[in-house]
Structure 1
Amino acid sequence: MLTPQRQQQILQQLAEQGQVLSKQLSVLFEVSEDTIRRDLRDMAKAGLLQRVYGGALPASAATATFSQRQQVAVASKRAIAKKAAGLISAGQVVIIDGGTTTTELLNHIPKDLPFTVVTHSPTIAVGLADFPLVDVVLIGGKLFKHSVVAVGAGAMESIARIQADLFFMGVTGVHPAAGLTTGDYEEACIKRALAGRAAETVVLASAEKVNAASAYAIGDITIANTLVVEAGTDSAWLQAVQQKGVVVLSD
């Protein structure tokens, strides 16, 4: 079997099973594990999968630029954001992460709802400028342009002073085994710190993030108290998430 044919079949296995193991693939294709590892390395370089210890997981499609991500899974993000907005109550302190799904959240928040938003996203802060009853606290730091959010030591210092009711977290991958992941190390650290300052963390997982993984772990999936997904999400995947004690809401 030629290498391109084998790699195409690996992708098919990945789509059907949600993960692949190097040892099993070497038996299936009757080649060495070194050959399989080389295949996975080349496919990861092409952005086709995410390598993990012993095999690979589906790569998240949510790692493009901010403007490009605004065009990905638009209907899914809209439905999820609408459902998530209903979790906000008057008087709460709510952390809103940066990202295209959380930006969509602003379109579904009632203009007459009084609460406080803490965010490290200038985009989110500006989007709330015309909400007369929403107080906005903007966390500063070094601008990570890919996601248009503040990161670094300054941001971490400010985060340590927050006590919030809710944190709406954006991720690039949600996988029962790999957990919550994103494409940048510093951003993963910021998200983990924000989750530690909120009584409840709500993860917004649009279609392209479900059962996918990126390079940097935010943490185990149980960091999320609640996961908001699109209606029709794979039932086996939902069951695997719920077995870990995470509440799942769908639009």
Structure 2
Amino acid sequence: MLSAQRKDHLREILRRDGRVVAKDVATDLGVSEDSIRRDLRELADTGELVRVYGGALPVPPADRPVDERSSLATESKERVARRAVELILPGSTIVLDAGTTTLAMARMLPYGGDLTVITPSPAIALAVAEHTDARVVIIGGELARFSMVASGPLAMEAVQHLAADLFFLGVTGVDPVHGLTTGNLDDAATKRAIAARCAQTYVLGSEEKIGAISRFPVLNVDAITGLVVDPQDANPVIGDLAEGMPVLR
């Protein structure tokens, strides 16, 4: 069987079963596991799936471009954002990561001018300025078109001069085994650097992210202060996550 035919077969399995087990596919097709792993690696390089140990998973919905994510799980994001805002004390310095849930937070922040908001997202900076009287600090760097967030060497340099009380971290996958993941390598590095400069880090876990796995690791679940989830989300994975960190509803 040609590589193109194997890839079509792998796409069909992923669509039908929601996962690919490399060993099983190799046995079914009578080819080596190395051939299947190579096919999966090439499909992952084109963004068609996410490689995991032993096989592959679909690309999480939260890994779509930012304009497509804006209409995804909007009510869940609003509930998570509302709960996250309750963690902010007067006079705090906070970092709002890029993302649609943090954008919802930006519109819910207290109006007073004693709050300082740092963000790598121009959209969030504008939302904070429009809805509050907070001081706004933008992390500079190259603007990634996919996520519309500043990243790269200039952003990393700026992050080293920051300090904040709270970091509201946006990821695209939250899984008890694979930890916190995202779909862009530069974003993952920038998120880790910001977390290292903040006293506490909370992850925003709207319903489409719980149990999802993206390509690039950000942090392990035991490296954050807590996970803010949708109080109406009954996903059993939340119980598994609660074994490694506080879960706030």
Q: Fold-level match, TM-score > 0.5?
A: yes
Relative to structure 2, which stretch is displaced further, 116-125 or 45-54?
45-54
2:195 aligned residue: 195
SS at match of 1:108: coil
In structure 2, relative to structure 1, the CA distance for the partners of 1:6 and 1:167 (3 Å cut) is closer
In structure 2, relative to structure 1, the CA distance for the partners of 1:141 and 1:5 (3 Å cut) is closer
1:224 shift after superposition:
2.3
2:233 aligned residue: 232
User: Contact 2:107 / 2:131 at 8 angstroms: preserved in 1?
Assistant: no
In structure 2, relative to structure 1, the CA distance for the partners of 1:9 and 1:66 (3 Å cut) is closer
1:49 shift after superposition:
3.8
In structure 2, relative to structure 1, the CA distance for the partners of 1:138 and 1:47 (3 Å cut) is closer
Structure 1 stretches of 5 or more lacking a match?
Answer: none
User: Contact 2:92 / 2:116 at 8 angstroms: preserved in 1?
Assistant: yes
When the two chains are superposed, the root-mean-square deviation of aligned CA atoms in Å is 2.7
Amino acid at match of 1:211: G
1:80-229 matches, within 5 Å, as 80-112=80-112, 114-229=114-229
In structure 2, relative to structure 1, the CA distance for the partners of 1:117 and 1:104 (3 Å cut) is same
In structure 2, relative to structure 1, the CA distance for the partners of 1:148 and 1:224 (3 Å cut) is same
1:13-28 matches, within 5 Å, as 13-14=17-18, 21-23=21-23
Amino acid at match of 2:95: I
1:219 shift after superposition:
2.4
Structure 2 stretches of 5 or more lacking a match?
Answer: none
Could you list the per-position Cα deviations for residues 107-136 of structure 1 after superposition, in whole angstroms to 9, with x for gaps in the alignment?
222223731111111111111113554111
1:33 shift after superposition:
5.5
1:97 shift after superposition:
0.5
Could you list the per-position Cα deviations for residues 20-77 of structure 1 after superposition, in whole angstroms to 9, with x for gaps in the alignment?
64335656x5855637547756875786641123222342111222111101111111
SS at match of 2:181: strand
Tell me, yes or no, if structure 1 residue 247 matches structure 2 residue 246: yes
User: Contact 1:90 / 1:113 at 8 angstroms: preserved in 2?
Assistant: no
Q: Distance in 1 between matches of 2:132 and 2:38?
A: 56
TM-score by length of 2: 0.84
Q: Distance in 2 between matches of 1:99 and 1:33?
A: 41
1:197 shift after superposition:
0.8
Q: Distance in 2 between matches of 1:52 and 1:195?
A: 25
Q: How many residues align?
A: 242
In structure 2, relative to structure 1, the CA distance for the partners of 1:6 and 1:153 (3 Å cut) is closer
